[in-house]
Chain A
Amino acid sequence: MSARWTLFPERTPRSAFGKLVLNEFRLAWRQPGGWVFGLGLPLLLTVIFGSIPKLQKHHETLGGLTYFDVYIPILIALAIAVLGLVSLPVPLATYREQGILRRLSTTPVSPIWVLGAQLIVNLCLAATAIILIMVVGTAGFGLEAPASLGGFVVAVVLSVVAIFGLGLLIAGVARTGTGAQVLGAASFFPLMFFAGLWVPRQVMPTALRDISNLTPLAASVEVIQHSIQSGFPSGTPLLVLAAYAVLFCWLAVRFFRWE
């Protein structure tokens, strides 16, 4: 039985939170897995796919889109998945495993602040990755600007909430940093598979696509795609994504352990 923490301890200087965020950024920079694979890789793939003429041809099977068009939401989902499922939970689980959270809870600072700092770091990385993918895609490789910018923002935010919620659930239940890595990878690969990283959903066999419709990252790709090509997203994919966002966040709050 561990005790409770005050979210806003009245005696603790607020600047302490800034220092925590600064240090989490330092750590993220020095352990570059998060931004190399969560920001660098999707951006690099955007440039590579954009540069291959074959991928810029319109296909009937893709509903008149190019492979490049199809891959943009998938690469956005890739960035969110790497940051949310690995980069976010692994440090938190490691901090708990090594007693870093315990150490902090003997100071006037709440360990919740570390979670907040970790969230801020990965949200910043995710926002940077998504903005860069869109800017590089539209400016350099003929990607159309989102048909509905509001819809795009809603789609991206919902995706981030759902996947980061799952990441926090992983951070909460994993006993060790390695455990969090295993759980993160075990969620990442199937979710990215159904999102179409290896075979885009448009060319998946029907049965596979039916299953994928019920997975969070596939819904996310669908919703982002729609907001770019057509307009404000609606219908089943939006509901599926919103349901996952609520579910994962609820589970994360329900099962998070500090010790």
Chain B
Amino acid sequence: MGARSQRGEWAYAIEVAHLRKSYGDTVAVDDISFSVTDGEIFGILGPNGAGKTTTVECIVGLRVPDAGKISVMGLDPQIDRELLHTIVGVQLQASALPAKLRVGEILDLYRSFYRDPADVEELIDVLGLADKRNDYYRSLSGGQKQRLSIALALVGRPKIAVLDELTTGLDPQARRDTWGLIEEIHERGVTIVLVTHYMDEAERLCDRVALFDRGRIAAIGSPRELAEQAGGGKHVRFVPSAPFDDRLLSELPEVRSIEHQGDHVLVTGSGELVNAVILTLTAAGVTAHDVQLGSATLEDAFVRLTGRHLHDEDQVVQR
């Protein structure tokens, strides 16, 4: 390994401590700290302008932090830049490729940058680009460009893949396909840092999420933890086959509240709420019809933690 790097033991794939970065008077990132565990999918979630991209750019060595410490598998992105780029694959927001190069040529070019590259044929197959090999980059659809970009991030067999705004601008089908792809890559043991402003994407893919808001981290945890922390919990809504005593349910540890809405009953709580409610009712000879389930989302968590919606940066939530 590189002689200049001081590779000691590292507990995390990525460690960021007290990172700060300003552009002129604008503070983009203000004292951010987090760690990414080896092998996880870590989400960086927040509205535009929350400092997500700046953070990631500092991690991959594209920007020099004003203050703070970053360690990527024991490497300092500024000092060990070259070595860093052999173990980190990056897919950047808004970066294109030459319009008149063919897919196969681009992959062949990027492959040549690494000593031990991935099998391009396999990569092309996995990413569904086999029949696009001879097409010019400019003729690709948004989804195909995105997949090629992922392929380029992976062609050097990285240990960590940093993917910024991966599915922005894709249609729903292409988004779901891309998600499937991320899961496949993850299964191969690649640590993934996923930057997104889509809640559903983070909920679906990420083991843990850092909620970014105005250059700071509002909360870190698994999507479910965050949602439950925000107090949303779960709810179940149903039409009982016969009237029943509310105490039957309110004595359950999982249940927090019971509310009658016409024929419907709305029960909120946490844990194994649905099982507890249905089993208890069945035991009492009551059948629950038309059952609807729901749980608090990351969106709820974000609103609760920051007082703002994810997609309207300036809107203050009315409570």
List residues of chain A with CB under 8 Å of any chain B CB. 1-3, 5-6, 9-13, 15-16, 18-20, 23, 26-27, 30-31, 95, 98-100, 102-103, 105-109
Are B95 and A98 in contact (CB-based, < 8 A)?
Answer: yes
Picked from A11, A19, A31, A103, the residue with its CB within 8 Å of the CB of B97 is A103
Q: How far is the CA of A3 from the CA of B61 in the complex (A)?
A: 7
B92 within 8 A of A: yes
- Determine if B98 and A100 form an interchain contact, defined as CB atoms under 8 angstroms apart: yes
| A108 & B63 in contact (Cβ 8 Å cutoff) | no
Pairwise interchain contact B82-A26, C-beta atoms closer than 8 A? no
Q: Give Cα A11 to B85, complex, Å.
A: 10
Per a CB cutoff under 8 Å, which of B64, B90, B115 touches A3?
Answer: B64
Q: Which residues of B contact A27 (CB under 8 A)?
A: 98, 100-101
Main secondary structure of the interface of A (DSSP, over half): loop
A99 close to B112 (CB less than 8 A): no
Whether A20 contacts B109 in the complex (CB less than 8 A), given A3-B81, A99-B96, comes out as: yes
Report the minimal beta-carbon distance from B136 to chain A, rounded to whole angstroms. Answer: 8
B244 sits at the interface (CB 8 A): no
A residues near B279, Cβ cutoff 8 Å:
none
Which residue of B2, B92, B105, B114 is within 8 Å of A106 (Cβ)?
B92
Closest to A91 in B: B98
CB distance from B273 to the nearest CB of A (A): 45
- Residue in A closest to B97 when the chains form the complex, CB atoms: A100
Residue in A2, A12, A100 whose beta carbon sits within 8 Å of that of B113 in the complex: A12
Q: How far is the CA of A197 from the CA of B116 in the complex (A)?
A: 53
Can you report 16 residue pairs joining A to B where beta carbons are below 8 Å apart? A1-B63, A1-B64, A2-B62, A3-B81, A6-B82, A11-B2, A16-B113, A23-B105, A27-B101, A103-B95, A106-B60, A106-B61, A107-B156, A108-B85, A108-B86, A108-B156
| Bound CA span A99–B145, Å | 14
Using A11-B83, A98-B96 as known contacts, say yes or no to A2 and B101 having CB atoms under 8 A apart: no
The residue in B82, B94, B97, B101 that gathers the most chain A C-beta atoms within 10 A of its C-beta is: B82
Taking A15-B112, A19-B112 as given, write out 18 further A-B residue pairs in contact, using a Cβ cutoff of 8 Å, ordered by the A residue number: A2-B62, A3-B78, A5-B81, A6-B82, A9-B82, A11-B2, A11-B82, A13-B115, A16-B113, A19-B108, A26-B105, A95-B98, A98-B95, A99-B92, A99-B95, A102-B95, A106-B61, A106-B62
The 10 closest A-B pairs by CB, nearest first: A99-B95, A106-B90, A98-B96, A103-B95, A19-B112, A30-B100, A16-B112, A9-B82, A108-B85, A107-B113
Chain A residues near B101 (CB, 8 Å)? Answer: 23, 26-27
Complex CA distance for A9 and B61, rounded to whole angstroms: 15
Complex: chain A residue closest to B89, CB-CB? A106
Q: Which residues of B contact A2 (CB under 8 A)?
A: 62-64
Which residues B92-137 have CB closer than 8 A to chain A? Answer: 92, 94-98, 100-101, 105, 108-110, 112-115
Interface string of B50-66 (1 = CB under 8 A from A): 00000000001111100
**Which residue of A is nearest B82, CB measured?**
A9
B94 touches which one: A5, A99, A108 (CB < 8 A)?
A99
Residue of B nearest to A107 (CB): B113
Residues from chain B with Cβ under 8 Å of A1 in the complex? 63-64
Give the residue among A20, A31, A106, A108 with the most B Cβ atoms within 10 A.
A106
Question: A23 touching B98 by the CB < 8 A rule?
Answer: yes
Bound CA span A78–B13, Å: 55
Taking a contact as CB atoms under 8 Å apart, the answer to whether A100 and B82 are in contact is no
Q: A27-B98, A103-B97 are in contact. Are A109 and B113 (CB under 8 A)?
A: yes
Query: Across the interface, do B113 and A13 meet the contact criterion of CB distance under 8 Å?
Result: yes
On chain B, the residues within 8 Å of A18 by CB distance are 112
Complex contact A13–B112 (CB within 8 A)? yes
Give bound CA distance, A13 to B61, whole Å: 21
In the complex the two chains form, what is the Cα distance from A12 to B83 in whole Å?
Answer: 10
In contact, B82 and A10 (Cβ under 8 angstroms): yes
Given A27-B100, A27-B101, A100-B95, A19–B81 Cβ distance below 8 Å? no
Q: How many angstroms between the C-alpha atoms of A189 and B270 in the bound complex? A: 75
Give the residue name and chain of the B residue nearest to A95 (CB): B98
Interface contact A23-B109, CB-CB below 8 Å: yes
Contact with A along B150-163 (1 / 0, CB 8 A): 00100010000000
Are B82 and A31 within 8 A (Cβ)? Answer: no
The smallest C-beta distance from A233 to any residue of chain B, in angstroms, reads 40
A31–B97 alpha-carbon span in the complex (Å): 15
> In the complex, which residues of chain A have a beta carbon less than 8 angstroms from the beta carbon of B96?
98-100, 103
Q: Are A107 and B110 in contact, with the CB atoms below 8 A?
A: yes
Closest CB in chain A relative to B64 CB, distance in Å: 5
* Cβ–Cβ < 8 Å partners of A6 in chain B: 81-82
Question: Which residues of A sit under 8 angstroms from B83, Cβ to Cβ?
Answer: 11
A202 to B84, CA, bound (A): 60
Complex CA–CA separation, A30 to B94 (angstroms):
24
A151 vs chain B, min Cβ distance (A)? 39
Instruction: Tell me the bound Cα distance from A3 to B62 in angstroms.
Output: 6
Closest approach, in angstroms, between the C-beta of A39 and any C-beta of chain B? 19
Measured in the bound complex, the distance between the Cα atoms of B65 and A3 in whole Å is: 10
Cβ–Cβ contact A106 & B85, under 8 A = yes
